[in-house]
């Protein structure tokens, strides 16, 4: 920690700060500058918490951390890219992956039709929501356990591993029984009890970024998974909340190279949630590939205009097939398969 | 819903839209403007969900809702202010309330000292965290059940009802056994399963606004409490996330008169979390009172610079006493007691 | 400046950094921590610019400034509150001021009617736009010089000093000839050439905060006025841009006590622009007074629903009179006249 | 415009609204819904301004525009892509362009060295700042006219057309005499007087997006150029301001396909300003190309760590050369040359 004192402080005021720093187990190191005195507190900031309270002291102007707060998720802890095994697949390696499927599982027919079509177009995992977090209590909340059973059936039929959302601690075992990847949604990205419950299942976890989460906070949420001894973490950028209203959210594609730099975990991009409009999904997928994403998570529906949720952002089966064709040259340009 | 067509559409394209609107149970109403044709879909938007998917249709430019999505929480549903009974107290009435206490319960001594002091200064409820959601897994997570027991003891000693955070569905019964008000934190504000679990305890719920929640979404989260048959809802503004870095968050005090206008539920302001700096808490409390808040939620600690969490934003016991004195003329100016 | 090195750097890499720091005229001061080495660069950051480029060096993790970048505008430079003389009035002193009038000057009748009414209700300055910056080139752009003449006439009639916007460097002399206070609008808050032109007129300058300006940047924009030898600066909070769409902008009332703490200049709040809805102006004005503002800037129009610009946010004459009555107890509670 | 009435209004209240709508020259069209009555006001919203003031009326809940406010800049007005001629080059066509050069012109040596190197690597235009808008009055403000002369000399030497910023109305003629493209910076993006002055020179204008500008507002600022009879407009995305602090701004790459869809003008991306960190520029450039940008604007400096401004975001000459090589497969994948 770096503690900046206000200008013109008496030595006594300075000493009170260094005493407190040492009382808390750090070593204090004073630097007297032209305009201000700066004190370094040397020690591990992650295990010694309380220095920020020094900012309350009248002689202190600011307190600045110099260490990063995340450990296991950091590139320093694991210099090589980590990969996540999902059944027969390896995510985070040379091969680029596409997770596709409907926003919500609505019926066997809808799901099977979609699963077969996305597989034929090149998707390698099947996504589909059985439990849906909805802004309003009056909106469709998902088929629940029946949705999970349909997903399992679709996996059997197509061989595609399934990705589905976990939204309640109390469902963790049930969802883990069916799913190959547990998705944690944006509204639960800092629901730490749910993160712990997901981690404990041992299943791969796909952690979406919260709408107003800084990248550091997102990595720290991921740290909850690794710290609870589940190494199978993937992070998914899906848009942040800004003032722009043209798109539902603002997809922060720069987060892809940043997370790749700060961390070793695979990065997935969800353009459907990110922009909320199917007509923009094509361009966004190309951008995500070019910027180094390891996989895409795309909403596809046989008839989006009749979907039970988020129709406006789902691609048609044909649209998805066209997208996969258009993506190919970009996947090659990015040096992926 | 209002559906705006793109310019120069053939009648056939227009008819396809009106047919779909009627198929979904609405009545279609066409208005031909100078530059664009607009179609009204008449029917209850809260029960007929799917019109937004029309925005995918090539002939459609935009789809705009005209109804509000919340019902029970709206002023229309309950024109008078609603009040919430917490033991012997009534929140939301003429009397202004102050909930004060430490960010985290740390020890019996710390809690009792604070409880007695805030009561002496005029606080009417005691707040204190027993379970703490922390951005990093390596930070202090609260005393848990022991913290709850200490709070109950402090209540017995002082008569102050207690407000404490619920952060796991699996704790709902245990926390409800001790607490008088269940606080739902900002990171869980759209953890709908937790909202349902809180509602089902029947205890008053203090719902904080999420960091990136629009007011409409906040009211809809509150709707989850009322729709699960718990009428004892209070909403708490505690700052939203913006680009400004001087304060931890940006307290949106205008939300107070807005919620008062749109809804009937009591509104609380949390300046401590809102600004994250004790030196600004005084001015913010005065502003909150002047703008019509029904209560304040304030962090107070016998020795903030040694607090185990969020030291920088907690008031001292003396500071709190001074604040209560300074607040009085503003409480009177606002016509409250 | 504080330069944080990446972990495990060779002494040679460290030395390259200290050499560069000294080459640029700072004194380097090395602190070796547990996880990282931190180097302090001692010297005046405001005159030695380029250390931030060190963040490009491979061995450097981050570069953090420790000094504030503003000087003349800071409370350190001028510990007492500064006041601004506008004709016979003193802003920033014990007396609370209200600047009121129409968004745009539309006609002699409209302006005179408003000026007389706001004076009768207690306003002490008259505001009115003669040059209007408009988002679209097809919207009403103001009466121009004729508007200025009408304002001068209204001042003669009522004795109220006038506040009006300057939006072009080329108008600076003309507007200064008529106006008592030059307002710099939010879209021009970092139009530095305009700030310099305004400063050079010697007239008091009311600098609105830009929609996405951090408080530090706003103070630095104010620094342009003081650095060009015009001490008559006032800062006006008028809302920042956030994700919330209920109000046009999000009024950051906490900026009032922050600016009061960091700076010595008078602070004005513009609730009309800040919230964009007349029905919320009452509550916001009370909050601004309670939080320590020195003055309010309020839009008032004889018939807002027929105004040529921004009708939705202007108060009626009656509404303004009622507001002034309701504000009184809050002005007294704040210790102002 | 669509005017939504509050529930349960008397016919008389409804009639007052329709009368006002017709008084203002629109045709009123009433739709009675289940919960609310909605009134369409039929007429050209761009020429009839004032309906938004209806939102002040007690019986009115909201007023929603249905038309877009921009005309000349819209895809409707010009269905094909427009191109901009800059000397011998055509921007907006099949050929992809790269504008490269130093943030600030510092000396003849620095500029010539950069110009020759970026040309050799494949840049087609030379950028360089002669007038610099700086957040603080104490920072380097550019070489001014001497900078322009050096740019002209570099153009003579290399044949590269030059792009440089215009930041004062009073410089318009002087800058236009030297520059091939006038850049309008982010802080001046809604300095409408400057936009008009730039338009009047007849030179191509590169309009950067303001830090908190919605896409609609950006297009409307562009409309100022076209409405002042200068068809040579290019729009440049360079990052918006959000809560994320890892990068200086958040580059909104989705704006590229959106502007391409809503408008016909060429779109440029500035990754240097957008992310503020040279190490992320590579990934961002690839993303911009993949998402359909027509050109890039990149800061390059022979020795970024010694640059007089914004060193942290400038590429080295070698770095730029490597970038151009890495970009090629993405340019081909995007179907450009």
How confident is the model over A286-295, as a mean pLDDT? 98
What DSSP letter does each residue of C250-273 carry, written as one string?
B--TTHHHHHHHHB-S-EEE-HHH
Tell me how far apart the alpha carbons of residues C142 and C134 are, in angstroms, rounded to a whole number. 9
The answer, yes or no, to whether residue D49 has pLDDT greater than 80, is no
Which of B37-46, B126-135, B180-189, D132-141 is predicted least confidently? B37-46
Q: State pLDDT tens for residues D287-298.
A: 999 999 999 999
Tell me how far apart the alpha carbons of residues C333 and B331 are, in angstroms, rounded to a whole number. 9
- Do C72 and C227 meet the contact criterion of CB atoms below 8 Å apart? yes
Q: How far is D181 from chain B (nearest CA, A)?
A: 32
Q: State pLDDT tens for residues B320-330.
A: 999 999 999 99
Q: State pLDDT tens for residues B46-71.
A: 655 567 778 778 888 888 887 788 89
**pLDDT of the residue at B135:** 85
**Cβ count near B297 (within 10 Å):** 28
**pLDDT of the residue at C148:** 98
Q: Which of residues 225-284 of D touch A (CB under 8 A)?
A: 240, 242-247, 250-254, 256-258, 261, 274-275, 279-280, 282-284
As a whole number, the mean pLDDT across chain C is 92
Which helix (DSSP H) or strand (DSSP E) does residue C100 occupy? strand C97-101
Which of chain D's residues have a Cβ under 8 Å away from the Cβ of C240? 212
Confidence of residue D320 (pLDDT cuts 50, 70, 90): very high
Which of C14-18, C114-118, D90-94, D113-117 is predicted least confidently? C14-18
Confidence of residue C104 (pLDDT cuts 50, 70, 90): very high
Confidence of residue B337 (pLDDT cuts 50, 70, 90): confident
**pLDDT of the residue at D47:** 59
**Count of alpha carbons within 13 angstroms of residue D94, beta-carbon side:** 4
B2 vs D295: which has the higher pLDDT: D295
The answer, yes or no, to whether residue D26 has pLDDT greater than 60, is yes
Q: Is D145 exposed, middle or buried (0-12, 13-18, 19+ CB in 10 A)?
A: middle
Pull the structure tokens for residue A126: 């099947």
Question: Quick check: helix, strand or coil at residue B33?
Answer: coil
**pLDDT of the residue at C307:** 76
As a whole number, the mean pLDDT across chain A is 92
Confidence of residue C274 (pLDDT cuts 50, 70, 90): confident
**Cβ count near A156 (within 10 Å):** 9
What DSSP letter does each residue of A236-287 carry, written as one string?
EE--B--S--SSSSB--TTHHHHHHHHB-S-EEE-HHHHH--HHHHHHHHHH
Which of chain D's residues have a Cβ under 8 Å away from the Cβ of B62? 66
Q: Is D65 exposed, middle or buried (0-12, 13-18, 19+ CB in 10 A)?
A: middle
- Do A292 and A334 meet the contact criterion of CB atoms below 8 Å apart? yes
Q: Which chains touch A (3 or more CB pairs under 8 A)?
A: B, C, D
The answer, yes or no, to whether residue C49 has pLDDT greater than 60, is no
The answer, yes or no, to whether residue C313 has pLDDT greater than 90, is no
The verdict on a CB contact (< 8 Å) between D138 and C169 is: no
pTM of the predicted structure, to 2 decimals: 0.93
**Cβ count near A58 (within 10 Å):** 9
The answer, yes or no, to whether residue C326 has pLDDT greater than 90, is yes
**pLDDT of the residue at C118:** 98
Tell me how far apart the alpha carbons of residues D135 and D128 are, in angstroms, rounded to a whole number. 18
B168 and chain A in contact, CB less than 8 A = yes
Confidence of residue C110 (pLDDT cuts 50, 70, 90): very high
Nearest CA in chain A to B280: A56
**CB within 8 Å of C38: residues ≥ 6 apart:** A2, A40, A66, C2, C3, C4, C5, C30, C31
Which of C296-305, D168-177, D298-307 is predicted least confidently? D298-307
- Quick one: what percent of chain B has pLDDT higher than 90? 68
The verdict on a CB contact (< 8 Å) between C308 and D47 is: no
**pLDDT of the residue at A255:** 97
D58 and chain C in contact, CB less than 8 A = no
Q: State pLDDT tens for residues D261-289.
A: 999 999 999 998 878 788 899 999 999 99
The answer, yes or no, to whether residue C48 has pLDDT greater than 60, is no
Tell me how far apart the alpha carbons of residues C214 and B242 are, in angstroms, rounded to a whole number. 10
Mutation pick from C191, C244, C252, C299 vs chain D, by most beta carbons of D within 10 Å, is C191
Question: Quick check: helix, strand or coil at residue B160?
Answer: coil
Q: State pLDDT tens for residues B95-138.
A: 999 999 999 999 999 999 999 999 999 999 999 999 998 888 88
The answer, yes or no, to whether residue D309 has pLDDT greater than 80, is no
The answer, yes or no, to whether residue A333 has pLDDT greater than 70, is yes
Q: How far is B100 from chain C (nearest CA, A)?
A: 21
C203 vs A309: which has the higher pLDDT: C203
The verdict on a CB contact (< 8 Å) between B212 and C256 is: no
Tell me how far apart the alpha carbons of residues A39 and A30 are, in angstroms, rounded to a whole number. 4
Positions of E strands within chain A? 2-5, 27-32, 37-42, 60-64, 84-86, 89-91, 97-101, 125-127, 162-165, 181-184, 205-208, 233-237, 267-269, 295-299
Q: How far is C95 from chain D (nearest CA, A)?
A: 32
Question: Quick check: helix, strand or coil at residue D313?
Answer: helix
How confident is the model over C302-329, as a mean pLDDT? 88
Model ipTM? 0.92
Q: Which residues of B164-175 are buried (b: 16+ CB within 10 A; e: fewer)?
A: bbbbbbebbebb
The answer, yes or no, to whether residue B42 has pLDDT greater than 90, is no
**Cβ count near D116 (within 10 Å):** 15
The verdict on a CB contact (< 8 Å) between A133 and B170 is: no
How confident is the model over D321-333, as a mean pLDDT? 97
How confident is the model over C263-280, as a mean pLDDT? 91
The answer, yes or no, to whether residue D310 has pLDDT greater than 80, is no
User: Which of D36, D40, D44 lies at the smallest CB-CB distance from B38?
Assistant: D40
Tell me how far apart the alpha carbons of residues D265 and D93 are, in angstroms, rounded to a whole number. 10
The verdict on a CB contact (< 8 Å) between A283 and D274 is: no
Pull the structure tokens for residue C66: 């420790």
Rounded to the nearest 5°, which phi and psi values hold at B272? -65, -50
The verdict on a CB contact (< 8 Å) between A308 and B49 is: yes
**pLDDT of the residue at C286:** 98
The verdict on a CB contact (< 8 Å) between C193 and D47 is: no
Which of B13-27, B46-60, B155-169, B292-306 is predicted least confidently? B46-60
Which of chain B's residues have a Cβ under 8 Å away from the Cβ of D36? 66-67
**pLDDT of the residue at C84:** 98
The answer, yes or no, to whether residue A102 has pLDDT greater than 90, is yes
Helix ranges (H only) for B58-202 are 108-121, 145-158, 172-178, 192-200
User: Which of A32, A66, A245 lies at the smallest CB-CB distance from C38?
Assistant: A66
C179 vs C279: which has the higher pLDDT: C179
**Count of alpha carbons within 13 angstroms of residue C119, beta-carbon side:** 17
C40 and chain A in contact, CB less than 8 A = yes
**pLDDT of the residue at C47:** 59
**pLDDT of the residue at D278:** 82
Nearest CA in chain B to C218: B244
Q: Which chains touch D (3 or more CB pairs under 8 A)?
A: A, B, C
Q: How far is C274 from chain A (nearest CA, A)?
A: 15
**Cβ count near C22 (within 10 Å):** 13
Which of A86-100, B218-232, C87-101, C302-316 is predicted least confidently? C302-316
The answer, yes or no, to whether residue C6 has pLDDT greater than 90, is no
Which of A198-207, D34-43, D315-324 is predicted least confidently? D34-43
- Do D239 and D249 meet the contact criterion of CB atoms below 8 Å apart? yes
DSSP designation for C325? H
The verdict on a CB contact (< 8 Å) between C133 and D192 is: yes
Confidence of residue D1 (pLDDT cuts 50, 70, 90): confident
How confident is the model over B187-202, as a mean pLDDT? 97
Q: State pLDDT tens for residues A128-173.
A: 999 998 888 888 889 999 999 999 999 999 999 999 999 999 999 9
């Amino acid at each position: 920690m770096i503690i900046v004192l206000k200008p013109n402080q008496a030595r006594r005021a300075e000493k009170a700060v260094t005493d407190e720093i040492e009382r808390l187990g750090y070593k204090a190191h004073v630097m007297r500058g032209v305009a201000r005195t700066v004190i370094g507190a040397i020690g591990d900031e992650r295990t010694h918490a309380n220095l920020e309270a020094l900012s309350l002291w009248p002689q202190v102007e600011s307190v600045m951390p110099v260490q990063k707060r995340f450990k296991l998720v950091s590139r320093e802890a694991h210099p090589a890219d980590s990969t996540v095994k999902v059944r027969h697949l390896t995510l985070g390696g040379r091969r680029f992956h596409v997770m596709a499927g409907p926003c919500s599982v609505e019926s066997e027919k809808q799901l099977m039709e979609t699963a077969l079509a996305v597989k034929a177009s090149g998707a390698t995992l099947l996504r589909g929501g059985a439990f849906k977090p909805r802004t309003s209590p009056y909106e469709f909340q998902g088929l629940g356990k029946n949705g999970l059973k349909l997903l399992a059936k679709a996996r059997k039929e197509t061989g595609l591993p399934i990705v589905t959302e976990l939204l309640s601690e109390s469902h963790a075992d049930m969802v883990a029984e069916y799913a190959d990847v547990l998705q944690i949604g944006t509204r639960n990205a800092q629901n730490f009890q749910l993160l712990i419950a997901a981690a404990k299942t041992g299943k791969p976890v796909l952690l979406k970024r919260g709408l107003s989460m800084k990248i550091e906070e997102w990595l720290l949420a991921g740290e909850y998974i690794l710290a609870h001894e589940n190494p199978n973490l993937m992070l998914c950028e899906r848009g942040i909340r800004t003032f722009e209203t043209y798109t539902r959210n603002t997809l922060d594609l720069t987060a892809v190279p940043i997370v790749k730099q700060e961390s070793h975990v695979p990065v997935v991009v969800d353009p459907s949630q990110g922009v909320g409009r199917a007509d923009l999904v094509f361009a966004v997928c190309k951008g995500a590939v070019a910027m180094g994403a390891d996989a895409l998570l795309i909403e596809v529906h046989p008839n989006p205009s009749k979907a039970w949720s988020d129709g406006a952002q789902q691609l048609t089966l044909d649209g998805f097939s066209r997208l996969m064709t258009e993506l190919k040259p970009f996947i090659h340009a990015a040096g992926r398969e």
